[in-house]
Amino acid sequence: MSQNAMFINQAPPTEVFRMPEGDPPDYTALEDNLSLQIGQNLRMVRTSLGLGQRDLSERIQVSLSQYRKYEAGQDLPRLHSAMLWSLETGLPTHWLFYGTPYQQWLKLPFKPTWIPVLYFTNRAPEWALEALHSVIKGLLREYDSPENPLASLDLLRDSLSHQLLRDPYYRSIAERLREYRSAQGMSRETVAQLMGISTAAYRKYETPELCPQYSVNMIMRFWMAIGRSPLELSIETPIYLYRQIQNANFASLFPWLERLDDASLARVNEMSRVLGELC
């Protein structure tokens, strides 16, 4: 068994969500202005990275007019677009809910000022990550850590970006969602009610070919209705491996970034930009 396969089979999903107590919330009230806030988050990330709307729309495989609707808060991204956005930016999909009412149930330890270095970390080869580590170590003089604490996601991320629809991710979510519902003795009608959607709409989420098309807010409704995240439902897929390595990188990186003052963080972000141009 390869090391990657062992990681997939043995590593538990990283918890990022705290279940609300009692019945599921009023989604209509909870999602009031949700598309506007997600649109602001999309714009903030894009401008922080110095990307144009056309560039990012091409990367997440939607038309420019559709992407502009996302940023304007006129439409919510679909799951597939959100997944590609995550792969391109290095930010988990649940970060799209930063500043929304859903944030109260999310663990969001990172800050908008960290966006450039997280983007770099997600795309950098090993030598560039080692250079970044040396820079941070120099800024935090008393800092002590392993010599190579960050793992490169460059090749895995690139392969996933190009073949995500052929990845077993969506099939895994649909099949495990059905398996979990059946094991709990829950009907489709019951889960649909907990998610605040019609039974006909819910059936699509148990259909792998249609799963990529549901709106990104259904990620949060899944968690609240069944207590299982899409990450947990995707064990044994390349996306799961990618997320687990990414989370391990975050576990190393976030404490360092927390200790940097504004001037030092600016130097790290600039170094990330320069190194990124060399990659």
The model's pLDDT over 110-135, given as tens digits with 9 standing for 90+, comes to 789 999 999 999 999 999 999 998 88
pLDDT on residue 51: 95
Q: Which CATH superfamily is domain 168-234 in?
A: lambda repressor-like DNA-binding domains (1.10.260.40)
pLDDT on residue 3: 39
29: number of Cβ within 10 Å: 8
Q: How confident is the model at residue 165 (pLDDT cuts 50, 70, 90)?
A: confident
The model's pLDDT over 17-67, given as tens digits with 9 standing for 90+, comes to 666 666 778 899 999 999 999 999 999 999 999 999 999 999 999 999 999
Q: Is 105 a residue whose pLDDT tops 70? A: yes
pLDDT on residue 8: 41
The whole-chain average pLDDT of the chain stands at 86
The model's pLDDT over 66-93, given as tens digits with 9 standing for 90+, comes to 999 999 999 999 989 999 999 999 999 9
Q: Is 251 a residue whose pLDDT tops 70? A: yes
Q: What integer is the mean pLDDT of 186-205?
A: 91
pLDDT on residue 4: 44
pLDDT on residue 142: 60
Listed by start position, the domains of the chain span: 25-77+97-107, 168-234
Percent residues over pLDDT 70 in the chain:
90
pLDDT on residue 10: 42
Q: What integer is the mean pLDDT of 164-193?
A: 87
Q: What integer is the mean pLDDT of 168-187?
A: 87
pLDDT on residue 45: 96
Domain 25-77+97-107 annotated CATH 1.10.150: no
pLDDT on residue 139: 86
Question: Rounded to two decimals, what is the model's pTM?
Answer: 0.88
Write the single-letter amino acid at 41.
N
Q: Is 147 a residue whose pLDDT tops 80? A: no
Q: Is 143 a residue whose pLDDT tops 70? A: no
> Do the domains 168-234 and 25-77+97-107 match in fold?
yes
Q: How confident is the model at residue 15 (pLDDT cuts 50, 70, 90)?
A: low
